[in-house]
Structure 1
Amino acid sequence: MADIRFLMENRVKELREAAGLTQTDLADRIGVTWQTISRIENAHTRIMPKHEKNLARELKVDPGALYSGDRQPPRQDPPSNASPPVPIPHITGTIPMLGSGVAGLDGKFVLNGNRIMDVLCPPQLAGVPDAYGVFVHGGSMEPRYHPGEAVFVNPHLPVRQTDYVVVQIAEEDESQDMAGYVKRFVSMNSRELVLEQYQPREDAPDDVPEAERFTMRFDRKRVVAVHKIVGSGIV
């Protein structure tokens, strides 16, 4: 579940093999599955802050040595709304469309850094580094956004109440890919992120208050990115 902001190569496999450890050995020592170690080594998931220190300890290196090149590891503090993604190289005059997977409940899709295609850059994003787009899944945001429509993101702009956003959420099971949603931003504090959609939630119990049927809440610790949508269209 690669983080669109922290999709980076790492040296975990190199360091693990140098230490004479198997993926299972290392997984047992830091309390995860061997599948999680495999996904970290293949850059399919970021190194979560809570695992970074343990990995460094077991591999007998400083945390910064877990990463390739001169890139720095993710900050330990929660990401801000406007944290930029890792630069994604693309053809001049285009931006990458990210995401993959079949839509889940309420427009959920896989947002793991996978690049689907390049499209012409919208005028409002010309010259904006790290701009990207995603496709809308499902009808939860109709009539504002429709299934298959492309939305375009400027990850550097601050997010305010009522802005439309692309959010990236870490699954509770860290072996799974991160989830993406296109929603309307309501609020975010140290405890939770609150979003809203225009159609009732598909998983909303019958006995919830009417307003909650259009509201999504996520534990703040699971929020990876909240990026502002600045345009949309058909590509």
Structure 2
Amino acid sequence: MDALQVSLTNADMKKNDKTSAVGAAIRSARKQKGLPMQAIADALKTSVVAVGNWERGENLPSTENLLKTAEFLGLDPAALGRGEVVFRDSTARNDAEIVTEPSAPNFGPMDVKILGSAVGGDDGDFSLNGEVTGLARRPPGIAHLTNVFAIHILSTSMVPRYDPGELLYCGGRTPVPGDHVLIEMYPDQGETNGKAYVKKLIRRTQAELICEQYNPAETVTFNAYSLKNIWRIIPQRELLGF
């Protein structure tokens, strides 16, 4: 490898490190304020998917959005640009916090397919279109799993467990009661894609899936004969190898 290639490689690594650090700092500050990603998206007039991408370290917010995010969260903008959480007011927990959150791992190959989804109508959380829209980083806990993919959740029905825009890894073993699951139904007549839902599986009979949702809190029942697919959502602790 020549000197130019080494220089470019080092520059890419530094950029990736900064992207992850800034994203983790935004997430940490947001969590400390008790805010959902939707609050940042509304304040900046952007999408929750964009905010989710920043928090996961997929890309950096623009300078304008970085400044607006810092203002909205009450952070020192220069510190945020370095990946540090420094609150401007006196309620800050730390004078300076360099964030290395495990929720945005920056290791493993970028080889997990992200499947496209669209906001649903009526009672549908969203729909899956089956198209690959990008690749996500493979966390260490699923290094050897082949039957996994990722989606962005687009609904608020599972807040506070999952915020809109969060990236969920799905697959692995067969779901059992107690697991959070991604459910895909067969399309209605005249429709191309079926409705999709993220819920917590309570029990399963031959005719029904009985699930729990958090927002609003209620029990939701699905017709098992209309079920196309059900995947387990892999918990963060397993993604990280715990």
TM-score by length of 2: 0.49
Match of 2:214, SS?
coil
Distance 1:158 1:133 in 2: 16
User: How far off is 1:176 after superposition?
Assistant: 3.0
Structure 2: distance between partners of 1:107 and 1:186 = 19
Structure with bigger gyration radius: 2
Q: Distance in 2 between matches of 1:106 and 1:184?
A: 16
2:175 corresponds in structure 1 to 159
Aligned to 1:195: 211
Is 2:145 the counterpart of 1:128? yes
Q: Which of the residues 177, 185, 194 maps onto 1:178?
A: 194
Structure 1 residue 141 and structure 2 residue 158: aligned? yes
Q: Which has the higher helix share?
A: 2
Whether the 8 Å CA contact 1:93–1:120 is kept in 2: the answer is yes
Structure 1 residue 174: Cα displacement: 5.2
Cα gap change, 1:105 to 1:149, in 2 (>3 Å): farther
Unaligned runs of 5+ in 1: 1-91, 201-212
Aligned residues: 130
Quote the Cα distance in structure 1 between the aligned partners of 2:190 and 2:211: 22
**Cα distance in 1 between the residues matched to 2:219 and 2:122:** 13
Matching residue of 2:230: 226
Percent identity of the aligned residues?
28
- The 8 Å contact of residues 117 and 128 in structure 2, kept in 1 or not, is answered as yes
CA distance in 2, matches of 1:107, 1:174: 16
Which residue identity does 2:112 align to in structure 1? I
Deviations 1:136-190 (A, max 9, x none): 1121101110000011012x41212121111111133253312221111112211
TM-score, structure 1 as length reference: 0.50
Which position in structure 2 is the counterpart of 1:73? none
Cα 1:163–1:229 shift into 2, 3 Å: same
CA distance in 1, matches of 2:230, 2:129: 14
Which consecutive unaligned segments of at least 5 residues does structure 2 have? 1-108
**Structure 2 counterpart of 1:150, one-letter code:** L
Runs of 4+ in 1 over 2 A off after TM superposition: 102-107
Quote the Cα distance in structure 1 between the aligned partners of 2:214 and 2:123. 10
Relative contact order (C-alpha < 8 Å, sep 6+): which is higher?
1
Report the 3-state secondary structure (helix = DSSP H, G, I; strand = E; otherwise coil) of the residue aligned with 2:168. Answer: strand
